[in-house]
């Protein structure tokens, strides 16, 4: 379909289900410290480390602190036959996260390592793999990506369909892939999307100040976007 769609609150995990569970976090861990400060060279190709089956200290830490920790949670969703949009190593072109600190190509190798381990070792076949970068040198390849996505935080509000971001994204990946606005500050203009037919499959506004209060998105704009006839959501938003 040519319509732009917003999938609102597609998957919900109750907080009580995550209590006491080890989930990958942004704070520095042993794996991050090794990666950022003790590893002089870039990562080898995925075949050289045999899908994380190695005694190398870096890979052992990555597997324990991230890959295996998350896999256990994903198994629960697979057992319940619930598909998951999985966006690992997001904003790979940025240096603000440890996985992008050495460039998008290194982030790509981390992504491929995780893909191979989850698909061939854990057989997690319910994951929809979402790549999140606009740099062509970081693109893992069509065989390893289901959805291409981008994060966009505009400095100020303007009515937009994020068309330029879509063109940059598909130029760095593949126009035949499903495309998404994985994170945004300002909501897209649904009326503009209806006219331009930029095929964003979904969008997600970031939390905190971007959705609490009206500094970034007013209540009227929320109504206009989520209740637009070309936007899909679970239920009407802010009907009053």
3-state secondary structure 170-188: HHCCCCCCEEEEEEECCCC
Q: Tell me what pLDDT residue 54 has.
A: 52
* Average pLDDT for runs of 10 along the chain of length 240: 34 40 45 64 48 59 77 93 94 86 85 90 95 94 96 95 96 92 96 95 92 90 90 71
Q: Tell me what pLDDT residue 1 has.
A: 36
Alpha helices per DSSP H over 82-230 = 104-116, 163-171, 190-196, 219-226
Q: Tell me what pLDDT residue 14 has.
A: 39
Q: Tell me what pLDDT residue 133 has.
A: 93
How far from 163 is each of 67, 147, 158, 188, 221, CA to CA, in Å?
Answer: 34, 17, 13, 10, 19
C-alpha dihedral sign at 16, 79, 143, 45: positive
b/e map 215-226, b = 16+ CB within 10 Å: ebbeeebbebbb
Q: Tell me what pLDDT residue 58 has.
A: 67
Q: What's the predicted TM-score (pTM) here?
A: 0.79
Q: Tell me what pLDDT residue 100 has.
A: 86
* DSSP H or E stretch at residue 19: none
Q: Tell me what pLDDT residue 22 has.
A: 39
Q: Is 91 a catalytic residue?
A: yes
Q: Catalytic one among 19, 91, 116, 229?
A: 91
Q: Catalytic one among 15, 32, 183, 229?
A: 183
Q: Is 214 a catalytic residue?
A: no
């Amino acid at each position: 379909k040519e319509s732009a769609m917003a999938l609102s609150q597609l998957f919900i995990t109750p907080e009580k289900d995550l209590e006491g569970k080890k989930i990958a976090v942004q704070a520095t861990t042993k794996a991050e410290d090794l990666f950022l400060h003790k590893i002089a060279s870039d990562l080898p190709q995925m075949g050289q480390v045999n899908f994380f089956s190695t005694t190398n200290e870096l890979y052992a830490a990555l597997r324990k602190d991230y890959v295996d920790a998350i896999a256990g949670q994903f198994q629960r969703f697979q057992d319940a036959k619930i598909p998951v949009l999985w966006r690992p190593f997001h904003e790979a072109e940025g240096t603000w996260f440890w996985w992008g600190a050495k460039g998008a190509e290194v982030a790509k190798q981390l992504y491929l390592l995780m893909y191979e381990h989850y698909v061939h070792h854990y057989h997690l076949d319910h994951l929809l793999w979402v790549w999140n970068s606009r740099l062509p040198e970081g693109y893992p390849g069509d065989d390893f990506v289901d959805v291409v996505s981008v994060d966009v935080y505009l400095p100020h509000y303007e009515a937009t369909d994020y068309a330029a971001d879509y063109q940059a994204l598909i130029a760095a990946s593949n126009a035949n892939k499903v495309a998404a606005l994985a994170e945004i500050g300002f909501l897209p203009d649904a009326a503009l999307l209806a006219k331009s037919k930029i095929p964003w499959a979904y969008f997600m506004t970031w939390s905190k100040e971007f959705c609490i209060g009206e500094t970034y998105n007013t209540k009227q704009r929320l109504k206009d976007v989520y209740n637009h006839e070309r936007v899909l959501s679970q239920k009407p938003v802010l009907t009053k």
